Each structure stands twice: as structure tokens, then as C-alpha cells.
Amino acid sequence: MIPTTRIGTLLHADHMATIQTLEALERRIAGARKPPALDAALSGWLGDLAATLRAEVETHFGFEEAHIFPLFLAQGQTGIVEILSQEHETILPLARRVAALAERAVADGRFAESDWGEFRMKGGELIERELFHIQKEEMGLLAGVAMLVDAGQDAALAEAFAATTAGQRDDAAALSR
């Protein structure tokens, strides 16, 4: 979907940054049965991953729930809000757990075998759920927003979102490497 609103464009950019982060996570965990040795580069990446997961998911979801979902509810569009809200409730603890495991590995200077197994499992589940969630938002939420907001609402939402997420996209771009 090509967004037709400013807020849609910003949400889309946030989705693309999240996809880059998830793809980088997938590259790190794919096929790696044993915990990797943590050198400075991997420790830095894990720290950035944890910060990005927390910020992107908590901030992005929070913005949608506070600013976007009410627009849908005011128009009686409860179905999409209910589905996406339930997904937020499932994805948020997963993202937090993956972040916590990454932070613990950095703090310990290594992944414990059990933590690595959980990191891979929860990371894989996060990737799957979040990618599917983003697809729904790209196809349904952004199209709906374009139909529900006027130019003034669009500008106000875009301004609020930009202020809320300042600096996060740069962090996500660094993680995709």
C-alpha cells in the first residue's frame, strides 16, 4: 500500500524500519543452534536490538492505541481495532522478552545455552507475529486512516507521531546491518 496521508507515510516508514530490524534478527538466529561468542560488535548489536524493540513496539503501539484506534472506534470500526489490539497484547510481551534476553547476554558477556534457545524461539515467534501484524496494518489500518482523516487531522497526527518517535528510525537503520 502506498500511503496517501502524512501519518500513513510515517507509520509506513516505521513499519519498514521494524521489518529491517526483524530481518536482521532473523539473519542472526537462523540455523545457529549454539550460542554465538559475544564480541564487541555483537554485544553492541544486541544492545541496540533491545533498545529498538522496546522503543519501536511500545511507542508505535502506544501511538496507534492512543491516536489512531479512537478514529476507527468513533466511526464504529471496532473489528480492526479489536484484532490489532489483541495482536499488540501478544506481540508486546514477546518483544520485551527478546529484548530482556539480549540485555542479559550483554550484561553477562555471553548467552547461556537456555537463554540462547529461548532467544531463538521467542525471536522467531516475534518475527512471524510482527510481520503478519504489519501486513494487516499496511493493508487495512493505513487505508482506513486515509478515509477517516481530513488534512488538519492528518497534519496533527503526523506532528504528534514525529515528536513521539524522534530518533528511533536512525537506531533501526543501524540494526539492519
pTM (predicted TM-score): 0.88
Region of poorest pLDDT, from 15-19, 125-129, 155-159: 15-19
pLDDT of the residue at 31: 86
How far apart, in whole angstroms, are the C-alpha atoms of residue 90 and residue 144? 23
Check pLDDT > 90 for residue 94: yes
pLDDT value of position 166:
76
User: How many CB atoms lie under 10 A from the CB of residue 37?
Assistant: 9
Q: How confident is the model at residue 169 (pLDDT cuts 50, 70, 90)?
A: very low
User: pLDDT at position 120, please?
Assistant: 97
pLDDT surpassing 60 at residue 34: yes
pLDDT of residue 168: 59
Residues in the chain: 177
Average pLDDT value for residue range 126-135:
97
Distance of CA 98 to the CA centre of its chain: 12
32 DSSP assignment: -
What is the rounded CA–CA span in Å between residue 53 and residue 45?
A: 12
**pLDDT at site 167:** 57
Element (H, E) at 147: helix 142-148
Burial 163-173 (b: 16+ CB within 10 A, else e): eebeebbebbe
The rounded distance, in Å, linking the Cα atoms of 60 and 161 is: 9
Does position 57 have pLDDT exceeding 70, yes or no?
Answer: yes
pLDDT the model gives residue 173: 45
- End-to-end alpha-carbon separation of the chain, Å? 26
Write down the pLDDT at residue 70: 97
Is the pLDDT higher at 165 or at 24? 24
Mean pLDDT of 68-82: 96
Cα–Cα distance, 152 to 115 (Å, whole number): 48
Measured at the alpha carbon of residue 3, what is the angle toward residues 158 and 142, in degrees to the nearest 5?
Answer: 80
What would the DSSP string read from start to end of 40-72?
HHHHHHHHHHHHHHHHHHHHHHHHIIIIIHHHH
- Contact (Cβ atoms closer than 8 angstroms) between residue 70 and residue 112: no
The residue type found at 88 is H
